[in-house]
Amino acid sequence: MMKIRTVSLFFLLTTLMLMQSGEIKAMNESYQKATFAGGCFWGMEKYFSQLGGIVGTRVGYTGGTVKNPSYEQVCRGTTGHAEALEVTFNPRKIRYEDLLEFFFRHHDPTTLDRQGPDMGTQYRSAIFTYSSEQAALAEKAKSALDAAGIFKHPIVTEIRPASEFYSAEEYHQKYLEKNPHGYCSLQVQSKRIGEILHGLWGKP
- The separation between the first and the last C-alpha atoms of the chain, rounded to the nearest angstrom, is 58
Pick from 166, 57, 38, 152: which is nearest to 102 by CA?
38
Q: Which segments of the chain are extended strands (E)?
A: 32-38, 54-62, 82-89, 114-115, 118-119, 125-129, 158-161, 166-167
Pick from 62, 164, 35: which is nearest to 122 by CA?
62
**Please, are residues 44 and 123 in contact by the beta-carbon 8 Å criterion?**
no
Q: Which residue is catalytic, options 32, 37, 39, 40? A: 40
**Pairing mode, strands 125-129 and 158-161:** parallel
Q: Which helix (H) or strand (E) holds 45?
A: helix 41-48
**Please, are residues 126 and 39 in contact by the beta-carbon 8 Å criterion?**
no
Pick from 164, 178, 185, 179: which is nearest to 60 by CA?
164
Q: Does 184 qualify as catalytic in the annotation?
A: no
**DSSP string covering 58-113:** EEEEESSSSSS--HHHHHTT-S--EEEEEEEE-TTTS-HHHHHHHHHHSS-TTSTT
- Looking at the annotation, which residues are catalytic? 40
